[in-house]
Amino acid sequence: MKPMPDYSLSVSERLKSLTVSGALQADPEQIHVAERLDKVLAGLKARRPAAKASALGWLFAARRKPKERVKGLYVHGSVGRGKTMLMDMFYDLAPIEKKRRAHFHEFMADVHTRIAAHRQRLKNGETKQADPMPPVAAQLVAEAELLCFDEFSVTDIADAMILARLFFELFAQGCVLVATSNVAPDDLYRDGLNRGLFLPFVDLLKRHVEVATLDSPTDYRMEKDGNLPVYLAPADDRADATMNASWRHITDGQKGQSEEIQMKGRTIHVPLAIGRAARFSFADLCEQPLGASDYLAIAKRYDTIFLDRIPHLGPEKRNETKRFIILVDALYDRSVRLFASGVDMPERLLTAKKGTEGFEFDRTVSRLYEMRSQEYLDLHKSQRRNL
């Protein structure tokens, strides 16, 4: 049984103890962000316990005395600087029972499912509430008064168009947001379609969170690179032969077959699979109309993915680039082991670093390198044992 965390500790104290022990290097930038996270912890500790929430709470929200407002925190900076580590510490120490930590894409997939369910209830005559946002927000707050997002990013227009309405309701009902991102709030959804309709969310976000930058000079992920042979470049005949040999090793030489994953009335085609290993080309996964929920379903079904022949990603492949970023996020978050071949090394796949994709691709590059590390492989093996 996991021991209960000591809520009397702070993120700063936990971070400093790791540096004193030699487990971490002292980093003033990390200490600064830890102190900002401690301020959020203090606000959560001081806030009175919330009244029992319900899915109908939105009906009575105007009559209730609002909860004490606690400003959250939005931490942005380059990849590999320790944002996830600090989020780990904060979430562990947050002294409330109803809290949720999720990748942003996974959270939004859940939101869209809830909205669809509410609209179906409206169609069936089970509710007269036409606007799904208040009841959906009430459901979410009833489950989690604290939302923690890893790698907050907005790439989907469907997400962008509802965020202001959704978070207006969440913040009004006392939800506290803590998030990490590679981009500042003002750079979210940059160059996105109809971005003007998204900007009210940015203003709302900045009213409800403090903003902190974490840009220490060291990329700690790169220092952990164990150089395991799981990314091959260039993607030529020799790389194909190596990928084939690795596939035979992983699958014990068994003959695979195609499979289908059922997804809400449609199917995701898997060209080749054996047990919990699956093999795709880049075109299979990133040149098809797939989204975050599809990639999460694949990551849930398979714990080892082979991805063949990642091409250079120029401006003409903007949609493919977005899908590739989301795909790597989904595989990384599920600790899926990835074998991949690319036309070039990860940092040279994107040919023009522009807009949101340029910022976010730095995270993708870092994750591709970390997925080669011994630490990542150990985590993959640990989670596989728990399946």
Q: pLDDT for 278-291, tens place per residue? A: 999 999 999 999 99
**Strands 146-150 and 99-103, sheet pairing:** parallel
Nearest to 292 by CA among 262, 328, 258, 265: 328
Comparison of pLDDT for 67 and 236, the residue scoring more: 236
Q: 231 falls in which pLDDT band (50, 70, 90)?
A: confident
State the pLDDT at residue 230: 80
State the pLDDT at residue 288: 94
Q: How far apart are CA 137 and CA 174, in angstroms?
A: 11
State the pLDDT at residue 242: 86
Comparison of pLDDT for 81 and 142, the residue scoring more: 142
Q: In this model, does residue 374 exceed pLDDT 50?
A: yes
Question: How does pLDDT run across 190-209, given as a tens digit for each residue?
Answer: 878 888 889 999 999 999 99
- Exposed, middle or buried, 137 (CB in 10 Å: 0-12/13-18/19+)? buried
Percent helix, strand, coil in the chain (nearest 5)?
A: 50, 15, 35
267-274 long-range contacts, CB within 8 A, separation 24+: 268/294, 268/297, 268/298, 270/298, 270/302, 273/302
Share of the chain above pLDDT 90, in %: 50
Mean pLDDT over residues 16-45, rounded? Answer: 88
Q: In this model, does residue 373 exceed pLDDT 70?
A: yes
262: helix, strand or coil = strand
Q: How far apart are CA 246 and CA 252, in angstroms?
A: 10
Q: In this model, does residue 221 exceed pLDDT 70?
A: no
- Exposed, middle or buried, 82 (CB in 10 Å: 0-12/13-18/19+)? buried
Mean pLDDT over residues 124-139, rounded? Answer: 93
H/E element, 263: strand 257-263
Contact 232, 242 (CB under 8 A): yes
Cβ-based neighbours of 382, under 8 Å, separated by 6 or more: none
CA dihedral 12, 18, 22, 25 (to 10 degrees): -50
- The average confidence (pLDDT) of the chain is 85
Six-digit token pair at 8?
A: 């009397």
Q: In this model, does residue 167 exceed pLDDT 90?
A: yes
Question: How does pLDDT run across 345-363, given as a tens digit for each residue?
Answer: 999 999 987 766 777 898 8
Cα-Cα end-to-end distance for the chain: 18
State the pLDDT at residue 21: 80
Nearest to 175 by CA among 213, 136, 131: 136
Query: Which residues does residue 341 pair with via DSSP β-bridges, in sequence order?
Result: 232
Q: How far apart are CA 141 and CA 55, in angstroms?
A: 9
- Maximum average pLDDT range among 188-197, 216-225, 244-253, 312-321: 312-321
User: Among 132-136, 226-230, 378-382, which is the least confidently predicted range?
Assistant: 226-230
Q: 217 falls in which pLDDT band (50, 70, 90)?
A: low
Question: How does pLDDT run across 31-74, given as a tens digit for each residue?
Answer: 999 999 999 999 999 885 544 445 555 455 444 445 568 999 99
User: Among 151-155, 278-282, 304-308, 360-364, which is the least confidently predicted range?
Assistant: 151-155
The CATH number assigned to the domain with range 224-385 reads 3.40.50
Cβ-based neighbours of 111, under 8 Å, separated by 6 or more: 136, 140, 162, 166
Mean pLDDT over residues 172-197, rounded? Answer: 89
Q: How far apart are CA 369 and CA 230, in angstroms?
A: 9
Q: How far apart are CA 99 and CA 141, in angstroms?
A: 9
State the pLDDT at residue 112: 93
State the pLDDT at residue 154: 86
Q: In this model, does residue 8 exceed pLDDT 80?
A: no
Q: In this model, does residue 109 exceed pLDDT 60?
A: yes
Contact 54, 98 (CB under 8 A): no
State the pLDDT at residue 281: 96
Q: Where are the alpha helices (DSSP H) in 144-227?
A: 157-172, 199-208, 220-223
> What stretch(es) of the chain map to CATH 3.40.50.300?
11-213
Confirm or reject CATH 3.40.50.300 for domain 11-213, answering yes or no: yes
Comparison of pLDDT for 80 and 328, the residue scoring more: 328
